[in-house]
Chain A
Amino acid sequence: MRGFRAAWLAATLGAAGAVACVEQATAPGSCPTFCPSGSITVVDTVLRTSITRDSAFRGYVLAHQAGAMVATEAPGVDSRAMLLTSTLISPDTTTFLLLTSDSVKLTLIIIRRDTSAHNLMLNLYQLPDTIDSTTTFADVAGAFSGAPLRTVDIDALLAKPGGIDSTTGDSIATDTTTHRLILKVKFDSLQLPYVAADSGKLGFGIRVGATTPASVSFSTREDPTSGGSTVTWFMKVDSIKGSDTTLVRERYPRGTRFDTYVFDPPVAPLDSTLAVGGAPSARSILHVTLPRGIRDSSQIIRGTLLLVPAVPARGAPVDSFVLEAHTVLADFGAKSPLVLDATRTDTTMIRVGATDTVRIEVTNLLQFWSADTTRPAVILLRSQEEGAHPSEVRFYPSKAAAYRPSLRVTYAPRFPFGVP
């Protein structure tokens, strides 16, 4: 009897264990015979009239407000970077009176350069300390026409051991984190003498040259990563320490108080086209009207904004730029605040000189509007590095019927649930 009970217990526990197993019910479909009658439908359509009320505005980011300044030497674009250093005032003019300079080191941070350009040369000029945001290309043309203070061969400097030129005192190094080049250029007291009347303010102009068209971007004081260029004075001061009146050398680092770039030719005035980029930067705003059947009852799985350039994208060939499509928090026209969210931003690369149709994947934006229909269905196009380059693209607006912006939408209508 004990054996019988034990067998019963084992059978019961075995059955209970079997019942407790996890369900596994995924079947490979043998369609249509043994599949559900309904199926997922996917529709792809081009909405030619869904983009309306489009316009462009300029003046969002000025050249001196950008996070980079660009020096370009390319056919059709001549851009030059400029910077003005802070004043040099001794903290104690009684015991440490600044007498003369020994040397000056200018530190430039190169954000981007054309690595395919050979013999990349940086020509550094001294500019008047009166440069400001209203200074134009023509205003400083004279200062750039003379002989440069220094010329630095970037490629040659990079090729030297440790990136150090012991003859000139220049050096170059790569920041392994940001992959930026940190260039230090040395000027002696003859090249850059200390002028007490100027309080040590220095104006620099940078031009690039190479055997091929070249373009170099420098960090500016608006760049949150590095904070822009710096200058370090090595000064001779009148030092009185007790009875010692020996002249000693002191090191005075200073930042920049202003940096910008000028370029020629200047940007063309806005017209009826949809301009994006340039400096001051231009943005274009497009209002989107999605059919209710798509917005309310379907699931959008891909959306592409199609834009036809009205003219080839302008700028140096090496200055291709990233165009961003944002949406806005509220529709206030040109002053609409952007939704600065990486998941709500779509991008594409604009190739300078190209006239191909530009395609921007805006799936994230379309899904955002479908999920919350109270959001304004507005696409705002801007350059990713606003104001940091003169490159600009212009698209046909909705008024140009044949080439107007359009949306290509791939969506899945509602699945027929509840139908056996």
Chain B
Amino acid sequence: MMRRLERWKVGKMEGAVLLLSILPSFPLSAQDSQFGIRGLGTPGRFETVRARTTGGALGPFDALSPLSEASLADLPQLTATAMGGTSYRTADVAGGGGATTSFRSTRFPVMGLAGPVLGRLVLAGGFTTYLDRTWDVRIRDSMSLRGGMQPYTDELTSDGGVTNLRLAAALRVSGRLAIGAAVHVLSGSTRETATRTFDDTTYHQVRQNDEVRYDGVGVSGSALLDVLPTLRLAAFARSDNRLRARLGDVVTAQTDLPTTLGGGLRWAPSPSVRLAGAVTRRSWADAGAGAFNTVSWSAGLEVGAGFAPLRVGARGGQLPFGAGTTAPTELGFAFGTGRAFSQGRALLDLGLEHLRRTGGGLSERVWTFLVGFTVRP
């Protein structure tokens, strides 16, 4: 086995580094959803592939997931990670004559670097998608113009999103308690276009575009407490102030962002088995009309602590933006595995996630292939 690992050593290590090096050339954003078009966008998940394939349950305990900072305290060495995912989504609109529309998108939502710097102090930095605002909507309609009805096709697009730049620090205070805090800078932009094409070409095409820039800040804190040697409790909180949209130097919108409160429990009955559950509440209703407070839950299992663990999990909860008087709901499951190379210096995680979102007459089904790379030089 060791001989085989030695044979993998150079090629796989270089391959992993090469893959990590090309990742930043892609747009950094998260999976999108039609539910986010009407609101601020689709919130990103602050989870690595490892956490996501347990339904997000391991998120508060995973050192590389940007959900909780306290978990960084257990990071033994400098580590870089990145993940990508391709989503295949189908959407059914009630009253749409049974028509199903298919979508496909590729995202690279998490990238980070973390490592101990001074004794037990661990610092981390990285990017995470905070809101995805990539969509393209086509609308067919007509209007009365110059004494006649003029059919037209509108196409409204937005490409981009808001990225969360995080600088985090964590400290293991004692053998049972670790704490962490982070400062978040929200930054990003969307390239937006609005096009109207009339069937009657006497009317020229309306085509307008602009670039909208976004900014905001947030702070977060978290703690991990080992209640028992096999039982770990996590608590995390985050407060973001507001998201400011600008066109040039003009502020066009200012939207309050949510406060996040959450907790989790992890039980490790043996070194190779971890069971976890987490609950998170976000006050997205602060964002204004059409937004809802959300509560989401997750439960997951990771088996195997060696070079090829297996993971499975489920998640459920609500989405912050949607039509109607109640928040859309989301339910999903995920599973995955990982593989360590070069004596654990390079990690490759794979996962498959299925989500079903419903609300306001819209139903979405999403299959997402997840790939994560972690390098410990």
Contacts and interface: CB of A to CB of B under 8 A. Distances in A.
Interface of A: 1, 5, 8, 11-12, 14-16, 18-31, 33-40, 42, 44, 299-302, 361, 363, 367, 408, 410, 412, 414-420
> What is the predominant secondary structure among interface residues of chain B facing chain A?
strand
Nearest to B94: A30
Contact of A12 (B4, B99, B198, B348): B348
A213 to B, nearest CB: 34
Nearest to A304: B146
A218 to B, nearest CB: 36
A417 B206 contact: no
A1 B4 contact: yes
A361 B84 CA distance: 52
Interface string B125-166: 000000000111111000101100000001110100000000
Contacts of A25: 32, 103-105, 134-136
Interface string B33-77: 011011111000000000000000000000000000000000000
Contact of B146 (A12, A44, A420): A44
Contact of B360 (A26, A31, A33, A301): A33
A90 to B, nearest CB: 62
B106 interface: yes
Contacts of A301: 198, 203-206
30 contacts: A1-B4, A15-B371, A16-B371, A19-B106, A22-B104, A24-B102, A24-B104, A25-B134, A27-B101, A28-B99, A28-B101, A28-B137, A30-B96, A34-B34, A35-B37, A37-B38, A38-B194, A40-B156, A40-B196, A40-B206, A299-B206, A301-B204, A301-B205, A408-B146, A410-B146, A412-B196, A416-B252, A417-B210, A418-B245, A419-B245
B25 interface: no
A420 B361 contact: no
Interface residues of B, number: 66
Contact of A27 (B103, B212, B323): B103
B104 to A, nearest CB: 5
A420 B32 CA distance: 16
A23 B137 contact: no
Contacts of A14: 369
A27 B136 contact: yes
Given A302-B204, A420-B39, 20 more contacts: A1-B1, A15-B369, A18-B86, A18-B369, A24-B103, A25-B105, A26-B155, A27-B34, A27-B37, A27-B91, A27-B103, A34-B362, A38-B156, A40-B154, A42-B196, A301-B203, A301-B204, A302-B202, A410-B203, A417-B192
Contact of A33 (B203, B252, B323, B350): B323
Contacts of A37: 38
Contacts of A18: 86, 369
Contacts of A16: 371
Nearest to B246: A418
Contact of A19 (B41, B137, B255, B371): B371
B345 interface: no
Nearest to B36: A34
Given A25-B32, A418-B253, A35 B360 contact: no
Nearest to A301: B204
B85 interface: yes
Contact of B158 (A34, A36, A42): A36
Interface string B189-224: 000101010100011111111101000000000000
Interface in B221-278: 245-247, 252-253, 255
A48 B91 CA distance: 49
A34 to B, nearest CB: 5
B285 interface: no
Contacts of B17: none
Contacts of A417: 192, 194, 208-210, 212, 247, 252
Find the residue from A24, A27, A363, A410 having the highest chain B CB count within 10 A. A27
* 10 nearest A-B residue pairs (beta carbon): A418-B252, A29-B139, A33-B323, A415-B194, A418-B212, A417-B210, A29-B137, A412-B206, A30-B93, A18-B86
A12 to B, nearest CB: 6
B376 interface: no
A24 B157 CA distance: 12
B339 interface: yes
A40 B32 contact: no
Contacts of B34: 27, 34
Contacts of A302: 202-204
B137 A44 contact: no
B105 A24 contact: yes
Nearest to A367: B204
Given A28-B138, A30-B93, A36-B137, A418 B86 contact: no
A34 B203 contact: no
B38 A36 contact: yes
B247 A34 contact: no
A361 B202 CA distance: 9
Nearest to A37: B38
A27 B137 contact: yes
B335 to A, nearest CB: 13
A420 B246 contact: no
Nearest to B133: A420
B104 A21 contact: yes
Interface in B91-114: 91, 93, 96, 99, 101-106
A356 to B, nearest CB: 16
Given A25-B103, A367-B204, A417-B192, A33 B138 contact: no
A343 B155 CA distance: 26
B369 to A, nearest CB: 5
B362 to A, nearest CB: 6
A130 to B, nearest CB: 53
A410 B350 contact: no
Contacts of A5: 4
B37 A410 contact: no
Nearest to B41: A420
A408 B206 CA distance: 17
A153 to B, nearest CB: 44
A312 B106 CA distance: 66
A417 B207 CA distance: 13
Contacts of B91: 27
B41 to A, nearest CB: 8
B334 to A, nearest CB: 14
A65 B121 CA distance: 93
B54 to A, nearest CB: 18
A42 B143 contact: yes
Contacts of B1: 1
B68 to A, nearest CB: 27
